[in-house]
Every structure is written in C-alpha cells, then in structure tokens.
Structure 1
C-alpha cells in the first residue's frame, strides 16, 4: 500500500456517510472522522473528498462504460475516488493498488477486488481523454429546478461552473493589522483573497490573531450593520463567529447567541486568539429578550449559497426541510425585530440562493411591520456591483458573480431600520 492509503480509506468512508447516510461532512468531522490522521493525510483526505463530491457526475460517466451492473456503494465510491484521481493525473500504480487493497480487506465486498482492479486499469488508459470532454457537473434535480426558476437557465450553468471550481480562501483582518506578508488580492469589499493558502494555521499573522477566515460574502452583513463603539449589539445564530469578531473589533458591546455549545467553544477560541471580547450565550434565538441598538440575524437556512465550499450539501440533503426553515426564518425575523430599539437597525441575512429565504422574507416583513424600512444608502459604499441590489432594497450575491476573481458565496442581506 502507498503512503496515501489511510487518506483514501477515509475518503471512501466519508463518501459512504454523505451519499449513503445523508450526513454532512461537518458532522463527520465533529464525530472524529479525521482524528487519527496525520496533518498531511487530513489535508489530503479533505481535498480528495471535496474533489470527488464535486466530480461525481463526471466520475460516474467515466465508470459506466466499464460496469455491466450496479456495485455496492462502498465499492462504487472507491471506483469514483480512483477515477477522479486518475483523471487528474495521479500515478495509476499507486491509485489502483490502493483501491484494490482497500476493497480486498472489506469484510463484505472483498471478493470484488478483481472488478476494482480491472475497471480502474481501463480508466487509467481511457479516462483522462473522456473526462476532458464531459460537461460541468450539474446539481441534483431537487435543487437545480428551483434555482433555475429563480435565476434562469444561463445563470444556472454559471452557478454550477462556480461550484465545480471550488472556492479560494478569504480572510478578514482586524482593524490596523498588517496583512501584506500574506500576499493575496485585496477585494473591493475589503476582504483579502488567497488563491493557494495551504495550512491556515501556518499563515503569517494567524497566531498573533491578526485575521480570521471568512468568505467575502459573509463579511458584508456586519459591514452593513456598522456597529459602533458604545453600542449594544446582538448577534443571533452567531457561531462560528466571524461577524461577532467584526463587530467586537469596532468597539461595540456584543452579545453572541447560538444553540450549539461546541460551535460557541470554537467562537471563544477565535476571540481569545484575536484578543477580542464578546458575551457568549448558548441558547435559542427565539428566547432572547432585551433592547439593542443593533441586531444581526444570520438565520438558519438551506446553506445553498455555500455549495462551492461544501459540495456535500446537495448530496446529503433533499430539500424536504425547506418549508420548516422558511417558517423558522420568519419567526426569528419577527422576534429579532422586537429586540431592536426604536430608531435602531437590524441586518437580516441568509447564506441561501433561494429567494424564499431572502427577498421574500423581507418583502413579507415590510408588510407586517409598519415601523420597518430598508436602508439602500448603505449598499454602494460596500464595494459591490449596483446590479446586485434587489427590488426591495436588499443585496443578492451569487457564486457566479466575480467569476474572474474566484466567485463569492451565495448570500442575501438587507439593512432594516426601525422608526424612532
């Protein structure tokens, strides 16, 4: 077996969990799936898992001509991983030998090692040429249909191309921090983008707490809210805490609320590393009370805007939770609005590509609350394209925006002001 055997074995396990059990990769990681791996194998496992999930449609098309009947999921996932690696130029000897060795030791499917050997040797010969001719993988129908209805067929193809390309690393710096040792490209919105980042914790300034990882889209809601020193600010559904740190860095008194104790521990670690402070509350957003100068609600949503970084999502989910999420968002928006002082403000946002989780929520809230207005004036200074401003005055971001710069997560956000 090659040095990459353990990584490949773990990739197959993770693919089984996502495609067979409907689990998200984040759940698998939290359960310790990567714990016994070396740092090098951990990085390799994550890279290959994401690459295979993004490429499932292509891998299956390359494999189908060599398979006369369906195979057990674990064997199919080994073949998928092997096909992806071979079609991306990995040495055939190492890939084929590893996959054969892994399947040969499987307690139920060991007898299929010969099939794995034969199929992958054919893929090694023919696969790379076939791969180059295949279309960009499409989203599953349950998700592709509503997104195509929302944004159109042409935009859908561009969104899928952005998903397949993956995402660079964006970071947000503390005010006054020197980020020049990192290199990268400064985006118009204020984030710094690194195309080839490597190990995050090894980058300059990480240990000193000069910055944190945060997609450029996710950095905009806090910029839109413009928390100020001396203000009482509430961050609902706060973990893992990028927005909390942005607002704490402004000097505001921030209360951050989230239901997940584990994710709040991670937020506390980030606050400690960056030398920032906030009051952390593990609890339900709907049970919070008080009055605040400003509230930021990043509501639970389908997360369909983050698929370029989380390609497991469309394979682990099926859209059945959309209705409950949309109802929960409306409840949270209404409750969060009750926590805003007269004359105060609130940002409502979701990392979703579905208008029902963004534009429609704000349109309905405007009808429900006569003391609510949308502030459009805050948007142009954020460095965004004016074409991204929506009819009701919010900001719509999509993965196909900024294609030459590496895209941006799908997001919706709006700044809502309460009359005095």
Structure 2
C-alpha cells in the first residue's frame, strides 16, 4: 500500500522519489528493513516504468481513466512483481487484487486480475514483441541522446539503467585505498573510488563510517573536484555545494574551502558530513549568482543545478519527472552561475564547471557560449590520465563526459560533464 502511494506522489504530484519517501508519514513508523522493502518496490516500478507501461498499452484497448489512476499504479506494482522482481505468480496476483480492494478500487479488481493473468500467459508471446531497451527511455530523451551520442551508445545507456547501482565510496585518505578495499570487500575502480557490490544493509553499519574514513559518492561525481589539480593551501569555492561530497574532497586535499549553497538546510547537511569525517570548511548560505567574496578565489568548482538525467541509475524517477522545458529553464540559471563564478576567480585561477546531465544544452553548449562572451578564459584540456586512463571519457574538445554505460563490466557510472577553464587575463 505504501509503495503505491509513493509511486503516485512521484508520477502524479511530480515529486522526486527521495522527497516522496522521506516525507511520507506512513513510513516513519516502519523499521529499516520494511522501509527498504517499500523503497525497493517503488524503485522497481520507476526503474522499469517504460517497459511496464508498454505492457499495459499492449494489453489494454483504451487508456485507463484518470479517476482510476490509483488502480493503474497498483497494476504497475503487480506487473513489476511478475516481470522484474520474479515474485511467484499466484502470490503476485492475489496480493495485487487484495491491494486494489484495500485502496478503495474494488470496482477494478476484475480488470486488474484479468490483466495480470494475461501478463503471465502472454509473457513469452505478445509481450516478447516489446523492445525493452527502446521503451525504457521517454521519446524526447531518446531522440536527444541518439542525436548526441548515436543509437548504439543510447541503447547501451538504456541497458545500463536496468540494474541497481552499486555503492561507491570516496576515501578521506587515498593512501589507505587497499586497506579499506579489503575491509569493505570493495573493488577499486580505475578512477580511484571504492565500489561495494551487494550492500543491502545500513550505510552507517559499514566499517569506517563512524571513523570518518569515507563518504558515499558516485564515482562519476568524484571526478570533477580532481580536475582542479593540487589545491593544498589554495582558497577554493565549491558553488552549489550540498550535499558536500566535493567539499570534502577538496578539504581532504588541503584546500581552504568555502562551500556555498543557497539552501541553509542543505548546508547543515554539509556541516554534518564534514564533522563526521573530521574535515573543516567555511559554509555560506547564499545564492552563488549574486554572492561576492571578500577577495577572489584561487580556484572554483561549479556543480551547477541541472536536469540530472545522468543520475538515472540511482534515481530512476528522473527520466519521468523531467521534460524538455525543464532543460530550457536550467540553461538560463547555468549561464548566470558561470558568469558569476568568472567574477569570483583571480587571474590565473582555474574554474571547473560540471553537471550530472547527459543533455548537450547543459554541458558543452554552455561552455561554448561562455567562452564566446568572456574572452578572459580559455579551455584547459583534461587528460585521460586524470580519470584513470579512461580515454572514452574524454571528448574531442578535451572535456570530461561520462556515460552510464561506461565501466559497464563493473556496474556503470553516473553521467557527468565537466570542462576545465583558466582565467588568463
């Protein structure tokens, strides 16, 4: 029941899954295991929503009426149990029909029961005709990615989004990599992050959490801060800093960090994370577009707000919450932030701009336009050696571009774009 309510909040109220899950009153009384189970159910539906809805469309003559939207979500959950979670058919059908009654959709029980039984009967015939890779991505995103990366790469991206993302960790002290890899049973990725597979327990129960030896950060998200190079003793701004992974990287590398974010609440989380790992940074609650530092910074990392389409491995809801209009609004804010960051940087300083988006409008197009209007800056190409020797992550222009399908044999990586610029005059 709770999973259906969370799904409804995401798909109809257009709330991110994390927000819907964190604020649901009914989940607060559950223990950690039951909460994890509810989230697993909701995530399974959202991760495979394109396929699930294609199955419904294949078997239903007319769209389900808006007044029966709850029944549609119940049906989605039932199909996810049958086709994704491989729940025994009898258990999946009976539980789904019972849920239909419990959620005041009793008039739909016959419909739900009949359709689920057709899913079971026609799974290897009618439903086998569905191109599961193609329906996994909304049309507008598919067209964008094919136009940018080509169809084979887009198919590889879509395939990479089917599975749960592993747990990635960034170490406070990279010199202890082998030690913590052994303690955690982790794989050391070429980029330096530790990857823990099959972790289904509490994060704070893992070795090293309370010692502050590491923090959770996708391997893709850990790359942009490294592109600033040696930062010991330098004044570095981390703009749009929350939740603080990049701030901690820079502080651990010896920088004097100013972590700036317009959300005071999110900054408190940054401070809490810094305290746990024993690192120090100045935190400033302000809008980076209007902030004026007492004096220019030596280096700036701008992790700009974006559509976050590159994070769909971890946040499957993002594919269904975003639309082209969201991208159009984002680019205006990204331009303002780039211009503001340029004003904060000293001559000779380095600016790294990054977004966790796969959309060209939010990445290379923003840098092309910025360099055209601000002649004080030049692009400083990124070398493959800086990202673990992974040449496929370096664009012809010398920028960083990770795709979810990169490192596929190790479980993939979040999609990021980053460009490194230097102020020369």
Check the 8 A contact 1:346/1:416 in 2, yes or no: yes
CA distance, structure 1, for counterparts of residue 113 and residue 31 of structure 2: 28
Structure 1 residue aligned with 2:75: 79
Report Cα offsets for 1:175-202 as digits up to 9, x if no partner: 1444121112111110011221222222
Counterpart of 2:96 in structure 1 is: 99
**In structure 2, distance between residues paired with 1:201 and 1:125:** 44
CA distance in 1 between partners of 2:128 and 2:314 (Å): 23
Q: What is the aligned counterpart of 2:10 among 15, 18, 33?
A: 18
* Match in the other structure for 2:116: 120
CA gap 1:190/1:129 in 2 versus in 1, 3 angstroms: farther
Partner of 2:268: 265
1:401 alignment partner, SS class: coil
Partner of 1:254: 257
Q: Gapped runs of 5+ residues in structure 2?
A: none
Match of 1:216 among 219, 225, 239: 219
Deviation, structure 1 residue 64: 4.6
Q: How does 1:269-284 map to 2 (within 5 A)?
A: 269-284=272-287
Partner of 1:313: 318
Match of 1:49 in 2: 42
The 3-state SS of whatever aligns with 1:22 is coil
After the TM superposition, which residues 145-164 of structure 1 pair with which residues of structure 2 at under 5 Å, given as runs? 145-164=143-162
Measured against aligned partners, the alpha-carbon deviations of 1:334-381 in whole angstroms (never above 9, x if no partner) come to 110111111111111111111111111112222222221222255523
Q: 1:129 to 1:238 in 2, by over 3 A?
A: farther
Structure 1 position 124, deviation (Å): 4.2
Output the CA distance in 2 between the equivalents of 1:368 and 1:68.
54
| Among 274, 295, 302, the residue aligned to 2:307 | 302
Other-structure match for 2:422: 417
Deviation at 1:325, TM superposition (A): 0.8
Give the corresponding residue for 1:4: none
Residue of structure 1 aligned with 2:142, choices 141, 144, 152: 144
Give the corresponding residue for 2:409: 404
The yes-or-no answer on 1:390 pairing with 2:395 is yes
* More deviation, 114-123/228-237: 114-123
- Following superposition, the deviation at residue 32 of structure 1 comes to 3.5
How far 1:247 sits from its partner (Å)?
A: 0.6
Which residue of 1 is the match for residue 343 of structure 2? 338
Report the Cα distance in structure 1 between the residues aligned to 2:139 and 2:58, rounded to whole angstroms.
23
- Aligned residue pairs: how many? 411
Q: Is the 8 A contact 1:398 1:408 kept in 2?
A: yes
- 3-state SS of the aligned residue for 1:147? helix
1:37 to 30, 33, 40: 30
Q: TM-score, normalised by structure 2?
A: 0.90
Displacement after TM superposition at 1:230 (Å): 1.7
Query: What CA distance in whole angstroms lies between the structure 2 residues aligned with 1:211 and 1:183?
Result: 14
Contact 1:227 1:294 in 2 (8 A): no
**Unmatched runs of 5 consecutive residues or more in structure 1:** 1-8
In the alignment, the residues of structure 2 paired with residue 143 and residue 335 of structure 1 have an alpha-carbon distance, to the nearest angstrom, of 30
Label 1:132 to 1:280 Cα distance change in 2 as closer, same or farther (>3 A).
farther
Q: Work out whether residues 354 and 363 of structure 2, in 8 Å CA contact, stay in contact via their aligned partners in 1.
A: yes
- Displacement after TM superposition at 1:69 (Å): 4.1
* In 1, Cα distance between equivalents of 2:231 and 2:365: 29
CA offset at residue 68 of structure 1? 4.9
Q: Is 2:224 the counterpart of 1:228?
A: no
Q: Is the 8 A contact 2:168 2:196 kept in 1?
A: yes
The Cα offsets for residues 199-248 of structure 1, whole Å up to 9 and x where unpaired, read as 22221111221111111111001111135232111100111111001011
Aligned-residue CA RMSD in angstroms? Answer: 2.1
Which region of structure 1 is more displaced relative to structure 2, 335-344 or 175-184?
Answer: 175-184
- How far 1:123 moved relative to its partner? 3.3
Aligned to 1:5: none
- TM-fit CA distance, 1:97: 3.0
Choose from 237, 241, 255 the match for 2:240: 237
Task: Verify the 8 A CA contact 1:22 1:317 in the aligned structure 2.
Answer: no
Q: Which moved more, 1:248-257 or 1:130-139?
A: 130-139
CA contact (8 A) 2:227 2:382 kept: no
* SS of equivalent residue, structure 2 residue 142: helix
CA contact (8 A) 1:58 1:131 kept: no
